[in-house]
Amino acid sequence: MKRLVGVSNRTAAGGPKAGGLAVALWDALVQRKGLWFGWSGEVAGTARRGVELFEEEGVEFAVTDLTEAEHEGYYLGYANRALWPVLHYRVDLANFDEEQYDCYRDVNRRFAKLLYPRLREDDLVWIHDYHFFPMAQDLRDLGWTGRTGFFLHVPFPPPEIFKSVPDHRALAKGVCANDVIGFQTVSDRDNFAKYSVAELGAKQLDDEALSLDGRRIAIRAYPIGIDAVEFQKLSHSEEAKAAIERIEPFLGDSRALILGVDRMDYSKGIPNRFQAVGRLLDNAPELHGKIAYTQIAPPSRTKVEEYAELREQLDSLAGRINGDYGDLDWIPIRYLARSYNRDQLAGLYRIARVGLVTPLHDGMNLVAKEYVAAQDPEDPGVLVLSQFAGAAEQLKDGALLVNPHDTAGTADAIHEALTMPLAERKRRHEALAEVVFGQDIAWWREAFLADLDPSGNGSGSVVSL
């Protein structure tokens, strides 16, 4: 079996191997005794340092620190303030700064230079996400000719939006140096194909292949999954039960918990969700005192201005709705700006009557899948899901799909979820569980690796997309 080399901004070194990417790559790297390369997570003054090498459970890690200037320019700057907003259709929030772009390019080149000498001829290189759009090209420039794949965890927007990035061509050409390019959804894949034909002069060979400069590039949708069996187990763990006991006194008579769990990010549509809950309370006074909406949203990227503004917006919206509708013995919105561990989250998902997952745009959204995995099949809750989450492509038959910009429509969907008869809840849950358990994280990983290594024997699982 060929050795796998994973490249991602953050590695799972020293931390829990939990959450989509960390679990998927970790398992693959353990199986193949692979190498995981990326940022150490440390910001080290002004001096660049080399690579730190260590091993955990047979997996080799090679990590490097960022200098303060690199952390500002590459990570907080170009990746998070230019690429992230554009890829989430928010050109209005994007800040394009030439110096930050240069820094992003330099970091990619520097990382490629550090990685290249560690590659062996037969390695498979798997690069992750928008931090490393040019990485494959940088490796090729150094002489790397081996099989190389790229997976984009976030959406790829329509060409008109991606073209707003001043250096869009250089970035996309860099990605095209890969042999396989993976997307979360068919619609992301098609956006990329359309863009590449129009802007790079690529030729579309079929739905899943482009040709550029005489090279064939596979482009495919590989919707990322979760370790559903493991997550279901977590929902029955002691810690999960303890979390349920702690929240139960706050659920009111009908014990109707509506739950949202997100990183605090403007792409997640949390303010729209608060407004929809406000509208629901306007429309349905009979629900006052009967429902409890809990939103868990730990602040992220707090050094980026837009994120600090979002925090203020949420504080004020929740305050207003609670002020308008709350009572001596009831608070409609419980908004917790902190994170909980996976066991605790799994427990909360399990007792939530409604899983409220309404991003404005999202690559996949693993919370939607975790919510499904944690439900009791005999008495499942209902998933209210944004049509703009990547997960909607797979989960449309079981979830109640909403347009998160449509406050009234979202409020109606929450109401429908709260009052849905058991038979329909079970029918919908069955459809959701089939996808979440069937197309899980191992399925995703094997699907990608089968394409990255067509001659290889993978781990023997049968993959059909």
Instruction: Name the residues annotated as catalytic.
Output: 153, 362
Complex with ligand ADQ: residue 363 or 380, whichever CB lies closer: 363
> Which run of H or of E encompasses 384?
strand 382-386
Least separation in angstroms between residue 318's CB and ligand ADQ is 15
Least separation in angstroms between residue 227's CB and ligand ADQ is 10
- Token pair for 313: 């917006």
Look at the block and give the residue holding tokens 């429902």. 291
Rounded to the nearest 5°, which phi and psi values hold at 104? -60, -45
Residue of the chain from 188, 370, 412, 453 that contacts ligand ADQ (CB under 6 A): 370
Complex with ligand ADQ: residue 298 or 438, whichever CB lies closer: 298
Q: Does 367 bind ligand ADQ (CB under 6 A)?
A: yes
Complex with ligand ADQ: residue 138 or 343, whichever CB lies closer: 343
> Which amino acid is located at 181 in the chain?
I
Question: 140 near 115, Cβ under 8 Å?
Answer: no
Contacts of 41 (CB under 8 A, 6+ apart): 10, 63
> How many whole angstroms separate alpha carbon 173 and alpha carbon 168?
8
Residues of this chain, 214-253, that bind ligand ADQ according to CB under 6 A:
224
Using alpha carbons, select from 149, 184, 154 the residue that is nearest to residue 28: 149
Residue of the chain from 7, 9, 20, 240 that contacts ligand ADQ (CB under 6 A): 20
Using alpha carbons, select from 83, 22, 70 the residue that is nearest to residue 42: 70
> How many whole angstroms separate alpha carbon 259 and alpha carbon 464?
33
Q: Does 451 bind ligand ADQ (CB under 6 A)?
A: no
| Segment interacting with ligand ADQ, rule: CB under 6 A, options 45-53, 202-210, 362-370, 454-462 | 362-370
- Token pair for 36: 């995981």
Complex with ligand ADQ: residue 20 or 149, whichever CB lies closer: 20
DSSP state of 256: E
> How many whole angstroms separate alpha carbon 22 and alpha carbon 88?
22
Complex with ligand ADQ: residue 172 or 364, whichever CB lies closer: 364
> How many whole angstroms separate alpha carbon 260 and alpha carbon 257?
10
| Segment interacting with ligand ADQ, rule: CB under 6 A, options 270-278, 285-293, 315-323, 357-365 | 357-365
Other CB atoms within a 10 A radius of the CB of residue 44 amount to 15
Q: Does 387 bind ligand ADQ (CB under 6 A)?
A: no
Q: Does 80 bind ligand ADQ (CB under 6 A)?
A: no
Residue of the chain from 2, 71, 131, 153 that contacts ligand ADQ (CB under 6 A): 153
Least separation in angstroms between residue 173's CB and ligand ADQ is 24
| Segment interacting with ligand ADQ, rule: CB under 6 A, options 65-73, 89-97, 114-122, 361-369 | 361-369
Residues of this chain, 256-315, that bind ligand ADQ according to CB under 6 A:
261-263, 296-298
> How many whole angstroms separate alpha carbon 59 and alpha carbon 76?
29
Q: Does 19 bind ligand ADQ (CB under 6 A)?
A: yes
Complex with ligand ADQ: residue 2 or 350, whichever CB lies closer: 350
The 328-347 site mask, x for binding ligand ADQ (CB under 6 A), equals -----------xx----x--
- Minimal CB distance to ligand ADQ: which residue? 363
Q: What share of the chain is helix, strand, coil (3-state, %, to 5)?
A: 45, 20, 35
> How many whole angstroms separate alpha carbon 210 and alpha carbon 223?
20
Query: Where does this chain bind ligand ADQ (CB under 6 A)?
Result: 19-21, 153-154, 224, 261-263, 296-298, 339-340, 345, 362-367, 370
